[in-house]
Structure 1
Amino acid sequence: MTDPASLPYRRNVGAVILNSVGAVFVARRTDMPGAGGGPDEGVWQCPQGGIDAHEAPETAVFREVEEETGMTSLTLLEERPDWLSYDLPADLIGKALKGRYRGQTQKWFALRFTGAETEIRLDLQKHQEFDAWKWVPLAQLPLLNVGFKKPVYEQIVRDFAHLV
């Protein structure tokens, strides 16, 4: 068994994308079907992804959002000054994140989507990460996400509440 303390955190960015009325974009992960149950079953999250070598976090967040959602009509509202980290649960150590990381350390950004919803496309990648999307109130984020990421989502709700 891999000792989690021997593994580094993967550097990552996350995007809280607000529309013109202050609702937040979330998308349902394709790799966790049925989690949560009910009509909105699955795990919903904000777009996020890894930072390439020598890439600035601000560059990475715009790249990741475009790759995962097709959105390019975005403006930067705010960058969270500190990084937030989470650890993977013990049963995912050595499996998730290609088995190389204990969790992720994330730089979060608030972005405003200014385009038409027809711009949103989840099918741009060969291995589609999301299969559905919706706009939700910011306060709902911690209720939609997978349990071990909940503290991160609770923090970003507090950090970006003034933007809604």
Structure 2
Amino acid sequence: MTPEDLPRHRPNVGVVLFHPDGRVWLGRRNKQPPPHNWQFPQGGVDDGEDLLDAARRELSEETGVVSAELLARTEGWIPYDFPPELVGSKRARGWLGQKQVWFAFRFVGEETEIDLEAHGEVEFDAWMWGKLDETPELIVPFKRGVYEAVVSAFQGFARGV
């Protein structure tokens, strides 16, 4: 798929941050009740922004993390549709869903670097290291297929260094 594909899907990037031991960083969505309130950092791509730059920006804004080495990225877009019951600003702006490119990074800093208030706009109110293969069960159901694709793409990094 090219950037022109799925024109009514908002361009977005997602980040899987791997701990050196192979676990992955998960954030609990701020003010979202359980279950299915844990996810990876993700966010929109600004007009003209390089996808890797967008991934690094989103990682920094949502987690405070800048000490991360690129491991891999998915090829092409992985799309999902917003469910009809989702009423929000993205749907109101005419988006049918999002199309994502995912990046895997290895965390090379100290955990004191993690700051959920780094950007001022808090996306997550808690975080944890978890197992990659368990993440599809933690995410909202309409994103589960995306997380299954991400697990498949990045499972080799879950073994640690």
TM-score (norm 1): 0.88
Check conservation: 1:43, 1:144, Cα contact below 8 A: yes
Cα distance in 1 between the residues matched to 2:67 and 2:43: 19
Corresponding position of 2:19 = 19
Amino acid at match of 1:57: L
Corresponding position of 2:10 = 10
2:135 counterpart (133, 141, 164): 141
Corresponding position of 1:35 = 34
Amino acid at match of 1:99: A
- Give 5+ residue unaligned stretches, structure 1: 1-6, 37-41
The Cα shift of 1:98 comes to: 5.5
Q: Deviations over 1:119-160 (max 9, x none)?
A: 000012333110000000110110110010000001100111
Corresponding position of 1:74 = 68
Corresponding position of 1:128 = 122
Aligned-partner SS, 2:116: coil
* CA 1:29–1:87: 2 relative to 1, 3 Å: same
The Cα shift of 1:97 comes to: 1.8
Root-mean-square deviation (CA, aligned residues, Å) is 1.4
Residue 97 of structure 1 pairs with residue 96 of structure 2? no
Identity %: 42
Cα distance in 2 between the residues matched to 1:9 and 1:139: 26
Corresponding position of 1:39 = none
Corresponding position of 1:64 = 58
**Aligned residue-pair number:** 151
Cα distance in 2 between the residues matched to 1:127 and 1:99: 21
The Cα shift of 1:96 comes to: 4.4
Cα distance in 2 between the residues matched to 1:156 and 1:78: 11
The Cα shift of 1:44 comes to: 0.4
Extract structure 1 runs of 4+ deviating beyond 6 A: none
